[in-house]
Amino acid sequence: MPRAMWKGAISFGLVTIPVAVYPATEEKTLRFNQLHDEDGGRIRYKRVCEKDGEEVSFEHIVKGFEVEKDRYVVLTDEDVNAIPVESSRAIDIHRFVDLDEIDPVMFKKSYYLVPEETGAKAYALLREAMADDGRVGIAKVSFRDKEHLAALRFKDDAFVLETMYWPDEIREADFGGIDVSAKIRGQELEMAKQLIESLSGEWDPEEYGDEYRQALLQIVEAKLNGQEIEVVAPEPTAKVVDLMEALKASVAAAKKQADEPAPARKPTAKKPAAKKKSSAKKPAAKKPAARKKAVGE
């Protein structure tokens, strides 16, 4: 089991539920290193002071907030720890709302919440109560040097904490050039609905894979084996100017694809082993001052 990235508690009224937090996702991005093209050496970057040109070690690096050009306020760890944030060790639920009230654009990252032994019963109780009510909890939590707005929901038997963007971090979709008043012909609308229907189906995430990453891994494997890389030119796409013609062609293509047998799923490619040498996510009511009792006390 991976190591917990944070430990705290779900705060629900006067009840606290001790939990450990684990990332629910991991990106499978291929990472590249910068190399010197002449000898293959890694390119390294040094922490250099712009005033004296000297390299600076970590113990002499501090945090500075720029208040105006070239003027900074230095903040120490003591300054940051003095911030009176109640959410520093609690996932403090302020309200319960319907999930469809939240615009998905607000969601940022997902985390699993695993209960500590003393909080298992309260964890199960809250999960069942939320399941019956069909709502998610809106909370605040602080970790990784930032306070987060979050939504608390459950997936299967586990709680999932969805960190969210603050309202002032969401950009308005105000681009000026989107003409929503364009006149749509009934035939065009009907054909568009046919296209949507022909592409509709049940959501199965296993049908999708990162083909670009797989292709890159194949190139890495080929170069390790000394094979020559062949550049395949993309197939030309027909230029369709008329919207109706484009819709008709799209519907025909979708129907043709639906009639073809589904291709076998490719196994997940493993990263090739390296060789030694190679060329190649309403205001909250005030909380009572009573002491919160942890489950199990």
DSSP class per residue in 19-56: EEEEES----------B-TTT-PBP----B-TTT--B-
CA separation (Å) from 208 to 76, 211, 265, 266? 46, 9, 9, 10
Q: Name which residue leads in pLDDT, 2 or 116.
A: 116
> Which amino acid, one-letter code, is at 296?
G
Q: Which of 54, 83, 57 is nearest to 145 (CA)?
A: 83
pLDDT digits (tens, 9 = 90+) for 150-194: 999 988 889 999 999 999 999 988 877 677 777 888 888 999 999
Residue 107 lies in a domain: yes
The DSSP letter of residue 145 is T
Q: Indicate if 154 and 12 belong to the same structural domain.
A: yes
Q: Indicate if 158 and 249 belong to the same structural domain.
A: no
Q: Indicate if 137 and 16 belong to the same structural domain.
A: yes
Q: Indicate if 89 and 163 belong to the same structural domain.
A: yes
Strands 6-12 and 90-97: parallel
Q: Indicate if 160 and 189 belong to the same structural domain.
A: no
Q: Give the Cα separation of 20 and 9 in Å (integer).
A: 8
Domain total in the chain: 2
Query: Mean pLDDT score of the chain, rounded to an integer?
Result: 83
Q: Which residues pair with 12 in a beta bridge?
A: 15
Would the pLDDT of 221 be above 60? yes
Looking up residue 146, the CATH number of its domain turns out to be: 2.40.290.10
Q: Look at residue 293 in the predicted model and tell me its pLDDT.
A: 43
Residue 129 lies in a domain: yes
Cα 107 from chain centroid (whole Å): 8
- Is the model's pTM score more than 0.85? no
Q: Which of 4-13, 37-46, 109-118 has the lowest mean pLDDT?
A: 4-13
Q: Indicate if 250 and 114 belong to the same structural domain.
A: no
Residue 100 lies in a domain: yes
Residue 136 lies in a domain: yes
Q: Indicate if 144 and 243 belong to the same structural domain.
A: no
Q: Indicate if 24 and 135 belong to the same structural domain.
A: yes
Residue 20 lies in a domain: yes
Q: Indicate if 126 and 189 belong to the same structural domain.
A: no
Q: Look at residue 252 in the predicted model and tell me its pLDDT.
A: 86
In sequence order, what are the residues at sequence separation of 6 or more whose Cβ sits closer than 8 angstroms to the Cβ of residue 151? 99, 102, 107, 136, 137, 138, 139, 161, 162, 164, 281
Q: Give the Cα separation of 18 and 10 in Å (integer).
A: 6
Tell how many helices (H) and how many strands (E) occur in the chain: 5, 10
Would the pLDDT of 286 be above 80? no
Q: Indicate if 112 and 191 belong to the same structural domain.
A: no
Residue 258 lies in a domain: yes
Q: Indicate if 17 and 156 belong to the same structural domain.
A: yes
**Neighbour-count burial for 192-224, b at 16+ CB within 10 Å, e otherwise:** bebbeebeeeeeeeeeeeeeeeeeebeebeeee
Q: Indicate if 18 and 159 belong to the same structural domain.
A: yes
Residue 73 lies in a domain: no
Residue 43 lies in a domain: no
Q: Which of 182-186, 196-200, 263-267, 278-282 has the lowest mean pLDDT?
A: 278-282
Q: Where are the beta strands (DSSP E) in the chain?
A: 6-12, 15-23, 63-68, 71-75, 90-97, 107-115, 136-143, 146-155, 158-164, 293-294
Range of the domain at 131: 6-29+82-169
